[in-house]
Amino acid sequence: MLWVAAAMAAYGLFGVSLGFSMSGAHGSPLLGSLACFAIAAVWIFVWFAELRVLFDSSRQELIVSTRGYLRSHERRVALAGSREFHIRHVRSGFSKRIWAVSIDFADGRTEWLADIPSGVEPLAEMLRAVTKLPVTQHFVLN
């Protein structure tokens, strides 16, 4: 999207083509390039979003914090009565797959912790080591 925005701006301001012709394009190149820059900013936010999962041993809680470049959010999950963690490979959107991490409790409820795009093995090992609870991974083969 950054490239499309730069191409639109270069063609609209200087008449230079950066890879595709915009001679038949209708509308404002300035507005089009600003829209592409806005879409790219959202994608960059998603790309650099940070997820941290910490364990507070004194309170027996997991602290799940997410941080992007504009805001951060912190959530505490008490582990009292918890049985096991589940990490599921699920479909998100049309073709994207993510790892959904949740925890099951003895009273039957399940609480979602986070969605992780990749690299779930270090998180599974950390959860297993610090909480002493089993971690079950569910793989989907399609």
CB neighbours of 33 closer than 8 A, spacing ≥ 6?
5, 6, 8, 9, 12
57 and 119 share one domain: yes
Q: Cβ distance 136 to 86 under 8 Å?
A: yes
Would you say residue 141 has pLDDT above 60? Answer: no
Give the domain extent around 134.
Answer: 50-138
pLDDT at 140: 62
The reply to whether the predicted model has a pTM over 0.85 is no
31 and 55 share one domain: no
Kindly state the percentage of the chain with pLDDT values over 90: 33
Q: Cβ distance 109 to 102 under 8 Å?
A: no
State the total domains in the chain: 2
The residue with greater pLDDT, 32 or 53, is 53
Query: Which tokens go with 1?
Result: 């999207």
34 and 54 share one domain: no
